[in-house]
């Protein structure tokens, strides 16, 4: 069973834009990125119509906050330390 995001604007890694595109995901893997007309969903697939929306397949939120620690509430921790310590951690 795949999940298909159909009919949207798809931006791929090269910067190319597919205006009527589909992204298919099966077992947590991207299995298709391309023109909607070239892939037909199966009856067991879950289909989302994303007309008027944009999708960037494979984009991962991998940013990090270098000044924060791994505590349950890092913002409380950072407020307790000196500006010097925070600056040193950021450097």
Q: pTM for this one?
A: 0.67
Instruction: Give CATH superfamily name and number for 2-55.
Output: Urease, subunit C, domain 1 (2.30.40.10)
Half-sphere exposure of 89 (CA within 13 A, CB side): 14
Contact at 8 Å (CB) between 22 and 6? yes
The model's pLDDT over 23-65, given as tens digits with 9 standing for 90+, comes to 999 999 999 999 999 999 999 999 999 999 999 998 877 777 7
Q: Give the helix ranges, DSSP H, for 17-82.
A: 74-80
Six token digits for residue 43: 């009856």
Contact at 8 Å (CB) between 47 and 6? yes
Q: How many residues can be counted in the chain?
A: 91
Q: What residue segments make up the domains of the chain, in order of their start? A: 2-55, 62-91
């Amino acid at each position: 069973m795949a999940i298909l995001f159909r009919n949207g604007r798809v931006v791929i890694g090269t910067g190319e834009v597919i205006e009527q595109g589909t992204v298919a995901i099966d077992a947590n893997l991207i299995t298709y990125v391309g023109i909607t007309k070239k892939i037909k969903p199966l009856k067991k697939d879950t289909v989302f119509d994303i007309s008027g929306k944009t999708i960037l397949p494979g984009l991962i939120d991998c940013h990090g906050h270098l000044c924060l620690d791994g505590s349950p509430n890092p913002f409380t921790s950072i407020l307790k330390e000196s500006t010097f310590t925070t600056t040193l951690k950021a450097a």
